[in-house]
Structure 1
């Protein structure tokens, strides 16, 4: 079994551990602490590492990650073992799983805010930092099965969220890519060998997710992709989470464009419709 605790990390174990959802693939989730609001014209000193340790073991326990990492020194503090969920993202009752959605879901708070100043130099993004100790963190995540891919693409300062991808694809995500959350961090991340956008289409979620009376993120994702591919003319307003006749007609139009007829063009997506639509 891989190490529950990152080798070399300082340990500050919190007692409220809880299991993750084993049916989801393993993930790594990246944040920045964003302790201050600075600018290129007015950079600000980086907040001391110990201040954040004190916060996550005290008043900030309710939002503690697995790891707190200082990319300027390589120092790491760990609050939860890899087998437990941590609590750094919002998770609405009854909604998409966020803090637990993975065989492991290792969350890393990076000690950073835009235009922080260290040693007299200001740093605009995480990508600009020396990223000391990143290799050791990634090796540990790989030992838990987290693949070196960004299923939604490498993070930017813009939000990019999709429930289907989040639920079905292992790899690395930014806070800006987690359903039910509104943060835009971590921004551009340091590059590492092997890390790449995932080229695979999202896994087909099953026929039972579509049809009259169905309302879920898969219906919305289907509609958005139909529009992207030029098959959204039957929407009067736009795709939504609720299945309607416009969804069926648009799917049918896409299926007929593949040369299919009869039951092959009934307007309800199956695995091959899904594969062709997303490839």
Structure 2
């Protein structure tokens, strides 16, 4: 059975699980948070990921999706397991039960609004962002049997285009929020293309698996630590005071890894400089 929880996501389980309807085919629903109204003439800064995570875990829990995705950093938070319904779609009484109309109905809110500004750069469409983490997200959703098709067409503009009821009942795949019956939204406006997934010998892991937190002890010498060192430097998280002994775990590694955790949005004790599985997977340390 596929993993109900996306391995790369921060688990923020809201409880209140409820089954989906297996009489309908598996679906994924693409949203954007659209939490600010900006224009090309008046762009606005992107809302911090932590703000939206707190919203869906708190006062916005009745509108929470399965996945909150930051396409600028590749960070995810997950609020419901895949087989449960989530609550990001309007669902009229006695209607289609939109949040449940599929063997799974996995809903993704991408942290994005048109003309958002990140590090001084303005992004008009979701597909203009780095779309970091999309490959992992797509792979996990595909593992739940959601086919790589857009029955209503891949979204290309912010426009409303409701799916006919018979098509919605009969066809699985990816739907824009703008396509869902009973809903009047126009998002997401665009969405990244599907990622091809190699099979066979060419599909071997190219990244170093997480060795466990206990691996990172003062004085530990390993080519894994040297490869990690290189990635931290590449990610502009270089807080080393010396280039000597890059394969030995020490204080410079702790400082640099803390910078990496902070770049991913971790704060306080969660950015302690000790690698965890989530942050390690996001670093993509080359296999040695």
Q: Structure 2 length as normaliser, TM-score?
A: 0.66
The offset of 1:193, in angstroms, is 4.0
Match of 1:99, SS state, is helix
Aligned twin of 1:187:
189
Paired position in structure 2 for 1:100 = 100
| Cross-structure match for 1:68 | 68
In the alignment, the residues of structure 2 paired with residue 83 and residue 46 of structure 1 have an alpha-carbon distance, to the nearest angstrom, of: 31
Q: Would the aligned equivalents of 1:128 and 1:190 in 2 still touch at CA under 8 Å?
A: no
Q: Give, in whole Å, the separation in 1 of the partners of 2:92 and 2:38.
A: 31
Which of the numbers 146, 168, 171 marks the counterpart of 2:170? 168
Structural RMSD (CA): 1.2
Q: Is the 8 A contact 1:27 1:104 kept in 2?
A: yes
For residues 192 and 123 of structure 1, the distance between their equivalents in structure 2, rounded to whole angstroms, comes to 21
1:73-114 Cα offsets, whole Å, 9 max, x none, are: 000000000010000010001112210001001000000000
In the alignment, which residue of structure 2 is the partner of 1:148? 148
Q: How big is the shift at 1:59?
A: 0.3
Separation of aligned partners in 2, 1:163 and 1:9:
33
Question: Is the Cα–Cα contact under 8 Å of residues 101 and 169 in structure 2 kept in the other structure?
Answer: yes
| Contact 2:30/2:176, CA 8 A, preserved across alignment | yes
Q: Where does structure 1 lack aligned partners over 5 or more consecutive residues?
A: 195-279
Question: Following the alignment from structure 2 to structure 1, what is the Cα–Cα distance between the partners of residues 194 and 83?
Answer: 25
Cα deviation, 1:231-255, whole Å, max 9, x if unaligned, reads: xxxxxxxxxxxxxxxxxxxxxxxxx
Give, in whole Å, the separation in 1 of the partners of 2:99 and 2:195: 27
Aligned 8 A contact 2:117 2:123 in 1: yes
1:134 aligns with 2:105: no
What residue is the counterpart of 1:12 in the other structure? 12
The Cα offsets for residues 142-200 of structure 1, whole Å up to 9 and x where unpaired, read as 11000000000011311111222111100000100000010000001122346xxxxxx
TM-score by length of 1: 0.68
Question: Is the contact between residue 26 and residue 146 of structure 2 (CA under 8 Å) also seen in structure 1?
Answer: yes
User: Which residue pairs with 2:160 in the alignment?
Assistant: 159
